[in-house]
């Protein structure tokens, strides 16, 4: 299926997990900017070296770095017929950049799914993930900063996409299957 989708939501809302499931269901690649950055940090590439200090502090990597990386990724053949972006766009500038990348190819987004979850729930989930996975940015201080940055810079994008008729809001609290079904149901009217 050709679908061009964005997954929005605070850290800990379950975007990565749901992105993998939706990718399977819809037959489109899930593209996580956080995963691409982490892979580059692990390999200590130039991109990884530029991104690491921002990530470790819970800040966003500068737009020009992130936008160039996404532009390259979306130009890969597997993204030609659709994609699910997990963790991008996160700033107003990234929204504009994405729009530009797509419209240059005569493409558009089909929908933006916002996974909602309250702050106490996401902090609990992230602290649990810290124990299980040991992600360096899952310490309590950095988690709080990531949530602040999300509230300041990314949460407002929901209104931007709502104004464009693209926003689909889904409650991210519940069993994994239940949340996946909620998303699929909410997306259905947008997928044609
Ligand atoms: P995530 O795995 O999506 O939580 O992303 C982990 C970290 O990678 C974020 O806290 C940022 O430092 C960085 N990052 C991921 N996506 C973006 C983005 N779209 N813009 C800026 N920084 C990003």
Is residue 128 annotated as part of the catalytic site, yes or no?
no
Q: Does domain 3-191 have CATH number 3.40.50.300?
A: yes
Across 42-54, b (16+ Cβ under 10 Å) vs e yields eeeeebbeebbeb
Domain boundaries, the chain: 3-191
Cα 55 to ligand 1 centroid, rounded to whole Å: 7
Active-site residue identified among 4, 38, 73, 90: 90
Give the per-residue pLDDT at 1. 59
pLDDT of residue 16: 94
Residue nearest to atom 19 of ligand 1 (CA): 88
Closest-CA residue, ligand 1 atom 15, reads 34
Residue 35 CA: nearest ligand 1 atom is 2
Residues with CB under 6 A from ligand 1: 11, 33-34, 37, 54-55, 58, 60-61, 66, 87-88, 90, 94, 137, 146
Ligand 1: which residue has its CA nearest to atom 14?
Answer: 34
**Burial (Cβ within 10 Å: 0-12, 13-18, ≥19) of residue 134:** exposed
How many other C-beta atoms lie within 10 A of the C-beta of residue 95? 21
Does the annotation count 135 as an active-site position?
Answer: yes
pLDDT in tens, the chain (192 residues): 589 999 999 999 999 999 999 999 999 999 999 999 999 999 999 999 999 999 999 999 999 999 999 999 999 999 999 999 999 999 999 999 999 999 999 999 999 999 999 988 899 989 998 889 888 888 889 999 999 999 999 999 999 999 999 999 999 999 999 999 999 999 999 997
What pLDDT is stored for residue 39 in this prediction? 97
Question: Which ligand 1 atom sits nearest the alpha carbon of residue 59?
Answer: 12
């Amino acid at each position: 299926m050709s679908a061009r989708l964005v997954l929005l939501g605070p850290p800990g809302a379950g975007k990565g997990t749901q992105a993998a499931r939706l990718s399977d269901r819809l037959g489109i690649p899930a593209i996580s900017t956080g995963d691409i950055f982490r892979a580059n940090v692990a390999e200590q590439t130039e991109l990884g070296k530029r991104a690491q200090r921002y990530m470790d502090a819970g800040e966003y990597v500068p737009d020009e770095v992130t936008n160039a990386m996404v532009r390259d990724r979306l130009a890969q053949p597997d993204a030609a017929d659709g994609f699910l972006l997990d963790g991008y766009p996160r700033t107003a500038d990234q929204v504009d950049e994405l729009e530009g990348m797509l419209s240059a190819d005569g493409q558009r987004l089909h929908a933006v799914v916002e996974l909602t979850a309250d702050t106490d729930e996401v902090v609990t989930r992230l602290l649990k993930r810290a124990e299980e996975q040991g992600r360096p940015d899952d310490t309590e201080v950095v988690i709080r900063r990531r949530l602040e940055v999300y509230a300041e810079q990314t949460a407002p994008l929901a209104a931007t996409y709502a104004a464009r008729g693209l926003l689909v809001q889904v409650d991210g609290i519940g069993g994994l299957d239940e949340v996946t079904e909620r998303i699929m149901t909410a997306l259905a009217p947008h997928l044609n």
